[in-house]
Structure 1
Amino acid sequence: MNTRMHCCPDHHPPPDPCLQASLVSAWLSPSRRHFSTFLLLLLLTLCLPAAAQEVDTMQAQHVIVISIDGLRPDAIARAHAAHLQELIGQGSYYPEAQTVRPSETVPAQVSMITGLDPKAHQVIWNRYRRGYYTGTTIFSVAKKAGLSTALLFAKKKLNYLVNPNHIDFVYGKRPPPYRPMDTTAAGLAAAFARAWQAHTYALVLVHIREPDSAGHRYGWMSRPYLSAVEEADRAIGFIVSALRRSGTWDKTALIITADHGGRGLRHAQPHRENLTIPWITVGPGIPAGLRLQRAISIYDTAPTALAFLGLSMPGDVDGTVVTEVVQKSHRLRAP
């Protein structure tokens, strides 16, 4: 094997233009220094882009969005959701966030990752379809910036979110020929912990289905529904424990929300209980114990998640950054 490039004494690194500028100034005589001023400033200016790239524009090194399918805000208090209650106390919370119309899983999840209303992204169906969404998402923006991404989900129809060009790790209810996976709340949490141990991704979306499944079968706010909320709560606690064990908890911004609420056995009608969802965020620089006062929509999740990473959605989107939880000094870097 040729190792000349690594050990040959004739191999030198390229000259540092900043150092060269300093040397130029040192050897010039006083009579010539007025001539050198422009040259010196020009060379130093060339150094600035590299130096600017070293400035940390990220409020968090990791962002994890957890979408709890069918979670009503009032269920958090009615159920024994100790982990969610603790996170609300540690972070900022808005219990009156609104989802999109139609208040269905696929349109809402697409809005969550695009920052767009269904009128803009035009995904208004709620069933499994082959193919995947090809528009701009939080995953495509993160990948363009050189960041790693992951998606874990519990419903087959959410394969529509899996653009293989934008997502590095996928775990979920995949169609054949993929092997079956444990997509219960506990199974997804365990899969997250295993994946996180192997690689700490910059951007992750985790979708948990249990409250929605129980709501359709037994009714929203029924005892089985509240038990399903508690199951989702335990999964969140497991995910938080995995972050703490890995030493990444203090570097992670967490957003917990839902795709829709529910009333009776359904959630598609434009009722308040169907449209109102929780919005919780915890992490570095995020105010603790703050009850947010501004109106928040599900599509505000996308630009806010990217803002934590120092990124922004390109072009016009319906969502806006929840500025109360994003430090101004970190809203800097365009994709």
Structure 2
Amino acid sequence: MKIIVCILLLLNVNLAFAENKDYSSVVVISIDALHPDAISEESCPNIYNFIKKGRYSADAKSTTPPKTLISHVAMLTGLSPEKNGKVDNIWKKGEARVSKPTMLTTAKKAGYETALIYSKPKLGYLANDYTDKEIYSRDDAIEKATAILNPAEKQFIFLHISGLDFVGPESGWLSPEYMEEFNFIDEQLADFFNKISASPTYLMVITSDHAGHAKIHGSDHPDDFKRPLIVYSSVKALPEIPDSALLPDKFKTFIERLYLD
């Protein structure tokens, strides 16, 4: 009798492992120009919930130079600017797009429906043949992401959110205006977070491309290179974030190991 019970327990463990091997939803959110020092339970209570339940580092780094497109291409390709070929910060519709495999490529090959939602036109560079949905929206990218999110489907969503990248240069990083904008972004994300909580299993990643100081970014000032990294799993406790994952060209491998291995 004991042997039968043990076998049944082992079968249940194996079945649970098989069911949880793939997350039903994988979401990577990049909040453009987010300085880690802006993050607190008061300034972003909805985002902070993932810090309390998951893993967090305020020590992630941007590329050299720390600029939006250069950093995002490194994060999504897992290659340094020198290796991925994108060493400038410009792209216009109609020009050649990314030629290296990205996080969207990996997700699509793993059976996920993929979506790239971005609020700066230049990030259209990151769309490729493995992008099922490409949506540009400067003012309501979060609402667009919430609309296409379907907890009943297997989805990989990359969401880029703008706002701080405009307020920072105008009013200063960590200024009252900057903090007000960040709080507004957090409030906007509440509906998206509520909806994804209905997913059977999901992995949430929240990060940024770079930060800034005073009213400046993209320079060699240490604050310009700062990025936060938040990782949360709805089904298991995650290990500490390794130092290697804090580098932009190691970000892709780190995330893919979390949801594919």
TM-score (norm 2): 0.85
Partner of 2:102: 137
| Contact 1:216/1:265, CA 8 A, preserved across alignment | yes
Do the aligned partners of residues 201 and 55 (structure 1) sit closer, same or farther apart at CA in structure 2, a change above 3 Å counting? closer
Residue in 2 aligned with 1:171?
135
Distance 1:121 1:226, change over 3 A: same
Query: Per-residue CA shift, 1:104-151, capped at 9, x if unaligned?
Result: 000111011111111211211112332311211111122233321001
Q: Give the structure with higher Rg (CA).
A: 1
Change over 3 Å in CA distance of 1:126–1:78 after alignment to 2: farther
The Cα offsets for residues 142-164 of structure 1, whole Å up to 9 and x where unpaired, read as: 2233321001100011111112x
Which runs of no fewer than 5 residues in structure 1 stay unpaired?
Answer: 1-53, 174-182, 311-330
Q: Which amino acid aligns with 2:166?
A: S
Q: Pick from 230, 236, 239: which aligns with 2:192? A: 239
The list of structure 1 runs, each at least 4 consecutive aligned residues, that deviate by more than 6 angstroms after superposition, is none
- What TM-score results when the alignment is normalised by the length of structure 1? 0.67
Instruction: State the distance in 2 between where 1:167 and 1:65 align.
Output: 14
The answer for the alignment partner of 2:111 in structure 1 is 146
Structure 1 residues 37-56: aligned runs within 5 Å: 55=18
- Which residue number in structure 2 is paired with residue 229 of structure 1? 182
Partner of 2:86: helix, strand, or coil? coil
Percent pairwise identity: 24
Where does residue 162 of structure 1 map in the other structure?
127
Q: CA shift at 1:301, angstroms?
A: 2.4
Aligned equivalent of 1:103? 66
Q: Distance in 2 between matches of 1:102 and 1:141?
A: 26
Q: Secondary structure at the match of 1:94?
A: strand
Q: Is the 8 A contact 1:61 1:309 kept in 2?
A: no
**Letter paired with 1:167:** T
| 8 Å CA contact retained: 2:24, 2:151 | no
Superposition CA RMSD, Å: 2.3
Q: CA deviation at 1:57?
A: 7.5
**Cα offsets for 1:49-105 (capped at 9, x unmatched):** xxxxx9568352321000000001001139621112221001000111111111000
2 CA distance for matches of 1:235 and 1:65? Answer: 16
Aligned amino acid, residue 151 of structure 1? L
Q: Does 1:92 align with 2:55?
A: yes
Q: Which has the higher contact order (CA 8 A, sep 6+)?
A: 2
Q: Select the residue among 236, 243, 246 that pairs with 1:294.
A: 243
CA displacement at 1:292 relative to structure 2: 4.3
2:173 to 180, 203, 220: 220
Task: Report the AA paired with residue 202 of structure 1.
Answer: Q
Letter in 2 for 1:67: S
1:315 alignment counterpart? none
Pair 144,85 (structure 1): closer, same or farther in 2 beyond 3 Å: closer
Give, in angstroms, the shift of residue 305 of structure 1.
2.4
Q: Is the 8 A contact 2:54 2:232 kept in 1?
A: yes
Which sections of structure 2, spanning at least 5 residues, go unmatched?
1-16
Change (3 A) 1:307 1:202: farther
| Paired residues, number | 242
Distance 1:124 1:199, change over 3 A: farther
Match of 1:195 in 2: 148
